[in-house]
Structure 1
């Protein structure tokens, strides 16, 4: 483990783990009560056995023998039924805790900023939600009840053993010191191995995500990297084999040593019972009952020690999950959000600066004023800050200085859900879900009617194509929508955004994947739909720029010039140079 991971693992307290069960106190109390009753009842069997051997059998008392045997059967039946009930309750509680933990992690990650996901590999996130929480399942679902059941059994067994013979009880308990010492050593080993195994599982998930996604497969085939990917996967899988073997073998030598000790203890007791000075000191029934109790002691004792090992090794899993739950939410809704009764769509940037890191400012002192219902076009070279400006409007990032406002209200004062209703974004990188076209569109507006869906698709010039498909709007789009062309995916994405009827449209290279004819058709739809809306367009072609009410040329995060098409051409600056060259600003990644 790295120093950071060790520090994180140490910070996971049993109190915090126990807090996961706070809402289930009554169920857990009932489970504990069932365990105590079952454990106490279970202690009756050795005493019934002693009476059978020492009294019923020697005196041929059939009536007593029948009652004693019936008693043993009843005890076994009752404890079995109680065991089923206890398992049902404890498993239900454990699964609900697991469900809540999964939902909490997923919900918390949903609230993280885009920056978190650009820094974190997708496979890593998936691994923590599936592998790490899955690895915690046995701890969450059965550890508490296992501790209660085994501890109760150990205490009841020791009391019963002392009642039979305190001398032999002392001999039996000699096993405790070496067992505890060996268990602590194994626990420390397992914790380190578990952390390494989960990191390797995360790496394997990343390889699968990168190598078997549709984009990954296409890249692998076109680059001839299949052999290298297989080698990478094989190496990671091989390391997992080693870690799994080490994890399994870490406690085997302890088990071997304990088995030897457990064999020595009853042998010593039998020897002691047969020595001359002990002859006649106890009956055969007492000796048999005691050895039966001793067996009942060692099993729960070992289970308790195993729980200790499991809990210690599982701290690495809890550390990884709590690390995600403890991530600060960089962009969140305010405690008392401002409500806009009527949104006009007046957009302003007031001395806005932004940096992805402190050494590389992406925007510096940006001032923009986009009146409601007007259109703004952003142009500039790669890296000039166009997409960053668009991202601030949707509050994918917050400015490091200055503020962005809609109708005079700082975006940070609006609820995120309200802002999502106000601002609609269509980006260059289209993402479609692996479901039907209809459901992809309803992702933007779950309550949308079929008529509304068709109207949005007509506006985006995609309805005719969808209607011509055998399954129409119920056609599966496939993984990431790869069954459609780039232009088709882009138009579906445009329809999805238009379905929400936002007051502000942000078109980040939204028509970049369209051919000239389709682009003109979509642009006509945008012109119609943009009436009364505020539209911000990142230009890909000059044809989408010249009719904008305002054109802003960005250069290294600063406003270089602004105006309408004619005034900028007359000024003879950067925009005029781009116009004369016939090549608008290229899209940038930021």
Structure 2
């Protein structure tokens, strides 16, 4: 399924050529916009040189010569350069946003489609909220890679080169003095960048822990569990502890930055002082003008700032590559269940289902199914009974290829299901489970999820067949009633009947019922069983039931225990065997008799 290396990617980013090429491919579709951004960066770096140079002309020529026309021209030119640079900056910001947002859009869509192809086992094993984190914060973090890393690198590099060249052209002696201060920026910037990244990493881990607590305790199921076991104080204490640790780390990171800024400010002030000192000496010697000294000092900021930012860019690049690694870690997980190259559509779903020596294990060394063989004849009901954990649900999950068997084969008619397209296979299977899932939308939206669109009459007929139409019509908004998160506004029986109506609309050839009535009251069970009778009519069906009363009329009953079919036959035949089925039957109905 692929090896996950979530934390390692933060410590040891992969700067390999293959990784960089992989990242580059996401930017390639927007190469035209990127070229425009590069052109803007070149122009703005050159325009930024003009104001200091124009100030030199003002001080050296316009003011001493009392030339008002020249003064007006130079001031206007300086203002024009500033305005032009600002306007180009607005366009650059738009293009930065356009490129980065579209890359995020592309990656989110690619990730969503990729996750749709992941096997059920992936979602069973992944941590709660992990998929959402990868889809949201990790991919959204990519947004800053272009504007915050790539553009910053190009911008600072261009500003640094253009400024350094200008300074040396103006006066190479003063330029050398200016460069002497640069090492003072490099060492603390690199050290501070490393410290702040370590603190940011620790903060990120604590924030993830916060999100995990929120996901667990404020989701619908977690909230109800917390309330029923009165664990509010415990969870509040746990959340407060993690929040306090996060706050302290954020304060440390902020203060580390403040000390760093103090050092940078100190070093930044050394440069101008040296320029005034040595520049003053050169002025006295007649080698330089006052305007040149002022221009030099004005240009120093354009020299020192890029140096500090370029040195600190290592941290940004490290963070960016780490984000890409976390995302690629998911992309590198190959879908295990896919269409075979020569897969064909399922054309004859009414041919029955046959398991031939099927074995399966969720974990290596712990088989869930062992050498299962049986046949569900076309148009008949095959019931699966047995203790919890025996493997009944696993059997039904193998039919739509939610999992793949480790050995053996499953056939529908004469076709092995691995030779069929997944879409055609699953389109011919309807599943009704004990834990009915409804989206937080209207009843109509939940019903139409099966078919996308249908006319009102077909939907109403399906609901009437599922014995739920009358109930829906009694609701204030009828079919447009909001059912709430996971259908919480409806009872278990009502959700089940909506689920059955949804499957009726789909009209599949194969029906799987997994404990559809086990948690219902007597009245709800009656209506659900009536609906089931309509649903299962003339269908090939597999029905899992703990309540044996629901499957007494099954055409064939498989008794599953410890991953094996230990008994098979009709109800009366199994009672005569005095085996596992007889024991289950006596325990259930004996208890009912005593009640």
Q: TM-score, normalised by structure 2?
A: 0.92
Matches within 5 A, 1:51-130: 51-130=57-136
**C-alpha contact (below 8 Å) 1:272/1:278 kept by paired residues:** no
For 1:584 and 1:187, the matched residues in 2 are separated by 73
Matches within 5 A, 1:530-541: 530-541=536-547
Matches within 5 A, 1:279-358: 279-358=285-364
Following TM superposition, by how much is the alpha carbon of 1:345 offset from its aligned partner in structure 2, in angstroms? 4.6
**C-alpha contact (below 8 Å) 2:178/2:300 kept by paired residues:** yes
Deviation by residue 1:6-44 (Cα, 9 ceiling, x = unmatched): 257433644433332121111101110111122222222
Matches within 5 A, 1:453-472: 453-472=459-478
| The one of 229, 232, 238 aligned to 1:223 | 229
Following TM superposition, by how much is the alpha carbon of 1:419 offset from its aligned partner in structure 2, in angstroms? 2.3
1:11 is aligned to: 14
Q: In terms of mean alpha carbon deviation, does 110-119 or 215-224 score higher?
A: 110-119
| The one of 160, 164, 185 aligned to 1:179 | 185
| The one of 204, 210, 216 aligned to 1:210 | 216
Following TM superposition, by how much is the alpha carbon of 1:438 offset from its aligned partner in structure 2, in angstroms? 1.1
Q: In terms of mean alpha carbon deviation, does 12-21 or 81-90 score higher?
A: 12-21
Matches within 5 A, 1:244-283: 244-275=250-281, 279-283=285-289
**C-alpha contact (below 8 Å) 2:40/2:88 kept by paired residues:** yes
Instruction: Report the CA distance shift for 1:44/1:140 in structure 2 as closer, same or farther (over 3 A).
Output: closer
Tell me the secondary structure at the aligned position of residue 383 of structure 1. coil
Tell me the secondary structure at the aligned position of residue 10 of structure 1. coil
Instruction: Report the CA distance shift for 1:578/1:70 in structure 2 as closer, same or farther (over 3 A).
Output: same
2:561 is aligned to: 555
Unaligned runs of 5+ in 2: none
Q: TM-score, normalised by structure 1?
A: 0.93
Matches within 5 A, 1:433-582: 433-582=439-588
* Cα RMSD (Å): 2.3
**C-alpha contact (below 8 Å) 1:273/1:279 kept by paired residues:** no
**C-alpha contact (below 8 Å) 1:200/1:239 kept by paired residues:** yes
Q: In terms of mean alpha carbon deviation, does 389-398 or 413-422 score higher?
A: 413-422
Following TM superposition, by how much is the alpha carbon of 1:236 offset from its aligned partner in structure 2, in angstroms? 1.7
Q: In terms of mean alpha carbon deviation, does 10-19 or 146-155 score higher?
A: 10-19
1:24 is aligned to: 30
1:43 is aligned to: 49
Following TM superposition, by how much is the alpha carbon of 1:449 offset from its aligned partner in structure 2, in angstroms? 2.8
Instruction: Report the CA distance shift for 1:11/1:214 in structure 2 as closer, same or farther (over 3 A).
Output: same
For 1:165 and 1:344, the matched residues in 2 are separated by 90
Following TM superposition, by how much is the alpha carbon of 1:92 offset from its aligned partner in structure 2, in angstroms? 0.5
For 1:15 and 1:38, the matched residues in 2 are separated by 29
Residues matched between the structures, number:
584
For 1:409 and 1:140, the matched residues in 2 are separated by 51
Instruction: Report the CA distance shift for 1:403/1:192 in structure 2 as closer, same or farther (over 3 A).
Output: farther
For 2:253 and 2:109, the matched residues in 1 are separated by 29
Deviation by residue 1:197-246 (Cα, 9 ceiling, x = unmatched): 33322222221122112222221111111111111111221222133233
Instruction: Report the CA distance shift for 1:249/1:406 in structure 2 as closer, same or farther (over 3 A).
Output: farther
Tell me the secondary structure at the aligned position of residue 355 of structure 1. strand
Deviation by residue 1:146-185 (Cα, 9 ceiling, x = unmatched): 2222221111111111111111112222233343333333
For 2:436 and 2:471, the matched residues in 1 are separated by 18
Unaligned runs of 5+ in 1: 586-590
Matches within 5 A, 1:134-213: 134-213=140-219
**C-alpha contact (below 8 Å) 2:5/2:329 kept by paired residues:** no
Q: In terms of mean alpha carbon deviation, does 313-322 or 392-401 score higher?
A: 313-322
Following TM superposition, by how much is the alpha carbon of 1:298 offset from its aligned partner in structure 2, in angstroms? 2.3
Verify: 1:383 aligned to 2:352, yes or no. Answer: no
Instruction: Report the CA distance shift for 1:33/1:266 in structure 2 as closer, same or farther (over 3 A).
Output: same
Instruction: Report the CA distance shift for 1:277/1:99 in structure 2 as closer, same or farther (over 3 A).
Output: closer
Tell me the secondary structure at the aligned position of residue 129 of structure 2. helix
For 1:332 and 1:249, the matched residues in 2 are separated by 52
Instruction: Report the CA distance shift for 1:276/1:141 in structure 2 as closer, same or farther (over 3 A).
Output: closer
For 2:252 and 2:495, the matched residues in 1 are separated by 48
Following TM superposition, by how much is the alpha carbon of 1:277 offset from its aligned partner in structure 2, in angstroms? 8.7
Instruction: Report the CA distance shift for 1:126/1:201 in structure 2 as closer, same or farther (over 3 A).
Output: farther
**C-alpha contact (below 8 Å) 1:35/1:152 kept by paired residues:** yes
1:588 is aligned to: none
Following TM superposition, by how much is the alpha carbon of 1:522 offset from its aligned partner in structure 2, in angstroms? 2.8
